[in-house]
């Protein structure tokens, strides 16, 4: 975070301002100090971590002062994988994106403009950092707790973990996304009904061993709801269709 006086000088001198400060509140304070100038003709890029409400509120504030707003979320590969590069998801003013894209693109290996809603980068975080990554991590930790309890060694399970990760990548990128995008949930592989039967057995193994199995129970529930809705003979990706409240 740069000092406030410097930030004000930088902003009044620049047409593109990338704010990478502590949080959205701090970003707003920095912009508040630019009192003598409006933000007309200027593009503000907010690269803080926050909620969709934070992003929308800052966008409205910038718009109210005549500026254009882009929200940005940095999604970085593990620091220890030196050969891979980061991703930045952008959302907000399309004209600003078109004007500044050439300057913003090199900031990361991959830059994606998700759409004109400045909340989209925060939504993407909730979906993939939260709903997918954090749930998958929690599932692994439940699995590991069960595994060591019944006498398995995690070192011995490493090859199986690699198989499961490879399967997951194949399912998500090559099957789940195309099924959802096309609306075609037919399959000649394992159906919702087949997974439901297996998950019932697997969950019983966990419960019988004395595990809480909270995620596995929620997973069973999702499969039951999908089957009850008539998708027993569909691909497991049909859970997508029954995830709404």
Min CB(121)–a copy of itself separation in Å: 10
Min CB(208)–a copy of itself separation in Å: 8
Min CB(136)–a copy of itself separation in Å: 4
**What tokens appear for 60 in the block?**
């409205």
Integer Cα distance of 111 and 105 in angstroms: 6
The DSSP bridge pattern shows strands 68-75 and 87-92 to be antiparallel
- Beta bridge pairs of residue 46: 19, 71
Nearer to a copy of itself, 35 or 189 (CB): 189
- Beta bridge pairs of residue 19: 46
Other residues' Cβ atoms within 10 Å of the Cβ of residue 5 = 9
Nearer to a copy of itself, 32 or 85 (CB): 85
Nearer to a copy of itself, 2 or 129 (CB): 129
Other residues' Cβ atoms within 10 Å of the Cβ of residue 118 = 27
Nearer to a copy of itself, 40 or 201 (CB): 201
Integer Cα distance of 95 and 34 in angstroms: 23
Q: Which of 222, 198, 214 is nearest to 146 (CA)?
A: 214
CA-based end-to-end distance of the chain = 41
Min CB(142)–a copy of itself separation in Å: 5
Min CB(212)–a copy of itself separation in Å: 5
Residue 240's alpha-carbon distances to 21, 88, 183, 186, 231, in angstroms, are 36, 26, 10, 13, 11
Nearer to a copy of itself, 43 or 219 (CB): 219
Residue 64's alpha-carbon distances to 59, 69, 120, 149, in angstroms, are 8, 11, 20, 58
Min CB(126)–a copy of itself separation in Å: 4
Min CB(37)–a copy of itself separation in Å: 33
Integer Cα distance of 75 and 85 in angstroms: 10
Nearer to a copy of itself, 6 or 156 (CB): 156
Nearer to a copy of itself, 2 or 168 (CB): 168
């Amino acid at each position: 975070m740069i000092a406030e006086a410097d930030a004000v000088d930088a902003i009044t001198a620049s047409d593109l301002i990338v704010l990478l400060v502590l949080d959205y509140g701090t970003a707003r304070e920095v912009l508040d100090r630019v009192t003598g100038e409006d933000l007309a003709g200027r593009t503000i890029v907010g690269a803080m971590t926050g909620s969709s409400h934070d992003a929308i509120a800052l966008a409205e504030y910038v718009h109210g002062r005549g500026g254009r707003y882009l929200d940005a979320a940095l999604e970085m590969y593990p620091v220890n994988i030196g050969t891979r590069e980061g991703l930045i998801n952008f959302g907000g003013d399309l004209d600003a994106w078109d004007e500044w894209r050439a300057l913003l693109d090199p900031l990361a290996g991959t830059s994606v403009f998700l759409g004109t809603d400045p909340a989209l980068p925060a939504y993407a975080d909730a979906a993939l950092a939260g709903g997918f990554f954090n749930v998958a991590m929690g599932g692994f930790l439940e699995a590991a707790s069960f595994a060591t309890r019944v006498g398995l060694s995690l070192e011995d399970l490493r090859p199986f973990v690699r198989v499961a990760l490879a399967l997951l990548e194949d399912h998500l990128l090559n099957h789940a996304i195309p099924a959802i995008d096309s609306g075609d949930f037919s399959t000649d592989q394992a159906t919702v009904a087949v997974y439901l039967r297996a998950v019932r057995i697997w969950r019983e193994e966990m419960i019988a061993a004395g595990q809480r199995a909270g995620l596995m129970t929620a997973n069973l529930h999702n499969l039951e709801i999908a089957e009850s809705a008539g998708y027993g003979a569909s691909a497991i990706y049909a859970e997508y269709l029954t995830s709404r409240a």
